[in-house]
Chain A
Amino acid sequence: QAVLTQPPSVSGASGQSVTISCIGNSSTIGARYEVHWYQHVPGTAPRLLIYGNIYRPSGVPDRFSGSKSGASASLAITGLQTDDEADFYCQSYDSSLRTWVFGGGTKLTVL
């Protein structure tokens, strides 16, 4: 079971918006460790989407945004496009396990 909890799946119509949550605890996100988000299309290299809770790497559209509050974080995607379909993962650090940890992943379906 992943240390960071994500919903297994989300879906939205083309053009609409979705939010993916990432729930941690006092040893992870709540301990003020930063959260990063990745987009992964199976069979390809994962792509860094958001780093440092809220920042977008060069080339990532502003339709993607990150936020953090307390022991949880969220990824919001607006203006859904069919090629947004992928698995999305959050990542942080766990001070009790002393290891980097990922969420279980959320599969996005664009209807």
Chain B
Amino acid sequence: EVVLVESGGGLVQPGGSLRLSCAASGFMFENYEMNWVRQAPAKGLQWVSYISPSGDTMHHTDPVKGRFTVSRDNAKKSLFLQMDSLRVEDTAVYYCARISRIADDALDIWGQGTVVIVSS
């Protein structure tokens, strides 16, 4: 079974840091592009970060540029999101999602999400 499981969320003060992890199983993780997507309370989905299969290409949405860094460890089948200088507006459920290999940009597998709360 193809599964993604996020972890690492929690409560952090503004200005603090968190590192999210996403463990993949059931597929050849090293062959897939991966994304992080978030959903703030009572808001819709927002794309956060992208990483290529080899990890040499990364993109981040403007509000997190310079603060968040996406990375991956293909040997451990894991995706990461290092979040620094966290702001109240980063409060959200964070999902890791796999990009389909048969449909450009479609996210065909999602995790259940991990909750990040930034509050003093």
Please give the residue numbers on chain A whose beta carbons come within 8 Å of chain B beta carbons, in ascending order. 2, 33-34, 36, 38, 40, 44-48, 51-52, 55, 57, 89, 91-93, 99-105
Tally of B interface residues using CB under 8 Å: 25
CB pair A91–B61 under 8 Å, yes or no, is no
Residues in B neighbouring A91, C-beta threshold 8 A: 45, 105-107
Please give the residue numbers on chain B whose beta carbons come within 8 Å of chain A beta carbons, in ascending order. 4, 35, 44-47, 50, 59, 61-62, 95, 97, 100, 102-113
Q: Is the interface of A mostly helix, strand, loop or mixed?
A: strand
Given A52-B103, A101-B47, 20 more A-B residue pairs with CB atoms under 8 Å apart are A2-B44, A34-B106, A40-B45, A45-B4, A46-B107, A48-B100, A48-B107, A51-B102, A51-B108, A91-B105, A91-B107, A92-B105, A99-B47, A99-B59, A100-B47, A100-B105, A102-B46, A102-B47, A104-B44, A105-B44
